Amino acid sequence: MISIVIAEDQTMVLGAVAALLGLEEDMQVIGQATNGHDAIKLVETLRPNVIVSDIEMPGCTGIEVARHIHAHNLPTQVLIVTTFGRPGYLRRAMEASVRGYLLKDSPIEVLSDAVRQVAAGRNVLAPELIETAWDAQPDPLNEREREILRLAEEGLSNKAIGLALNLSPGTVRNYLSESASKLGAANRIEAGRIARANGWL
């Protein structure tokens, strides 16, 4: 029996995926989370064979969940199921030791088969993304720059970002300036747009 945790912030999608995978005779959904932090707690507590996770979630992303699982040598394989086929997301997922990467419009038969493959330690990649995997450009941002750009995207000022991350407004400004420079952007708004379009946020 393959034990599964599902992490998805859209509750309707979460319930549907859980119900469909629960119909498979060799699978059991043992936990559900609507944000990245809860997903990590469930994996640490329940030690499922597989976590089926979205990328964009509150708290932390599915890629950050995968990175945590890998860093702590947890026995759970990660299968990303997302709407995002952007090269940057895929490259970051692969670097985080994600075993599988599917798009949300995949049929349930493809998803269930991917769960079996990933549980067995094999890699699964949506066929339409195979060429994309080779085209992905290296992510120029470090984790701190990514974190600050996300908050800037939400409209927070340098002061508010600094308070949230325990940094001075000047340090935040420097990070944003460096990010914009790396991305060839004129300002923080354009930097966020470029990073988002490439899957680097």
Domains of the chain: which residue ranges?
A: 2-135, 143-197
Contacts for 32 with CB less than 8 Å, ≥ 6 apart = 5, 6, 7, 8, 14, 18, 42
| Total-model pTM | 0.74
Predicted local confidence at residue 69, as pLDDT: 97
Predicted local confidence at residue 170, as pLDDT: 92
Calculate the average pLDDT of the chain. 91
Cα 31 to Cα 96: distance, rounded to the nearest angstrom: 22
Span 194-199, mean pLDDT? 84
- Which range has highest mean pLDDT (54-58, 115-119, 123-127, 195-199)? 115-119
Span 126-140, mean pLDDT? 73
Predicted local confidence at residue 135, as pLDDT: 64
Q: For residues 142 and 133, is the Cβ–Cβ distance under 8 A?
A: no
The per-residue pLDDT for range 13-33, each reduced to its tens digit, is 999 999 999 999 999 999 999
Q: Which residues of 143-166 are buried (b: 16+ CB within 10 A; e: fewer)?
A: eebbbbbbbbbeebebeebbeeee
The CATH classification number of 2-135 equals 3.40.50.2300
Predicted local confidence at residue 134, as pLDDT: 60
The percent of residues in the chain predicted with pLDDT above 70, rounded, is 97
What are the tokens at 128? 């339409």
Predicted local confidence at residue 126, as pLDDT: 86
Residue 132 has pLDDT above 70, yes or no: no
Query: How would you class 37 by CB atoms within 10 Å of its CB: exposed for 0-12, middle for 13-18, buried for 19 or more?
Result: middle
Span 30-51, mean pLDDT? 97
Q: Which CATH architecture fits 143-197?
A: Orthogonal Bundle (1.10)
Predicted local confidence at residue 131, as pLDDT: 66
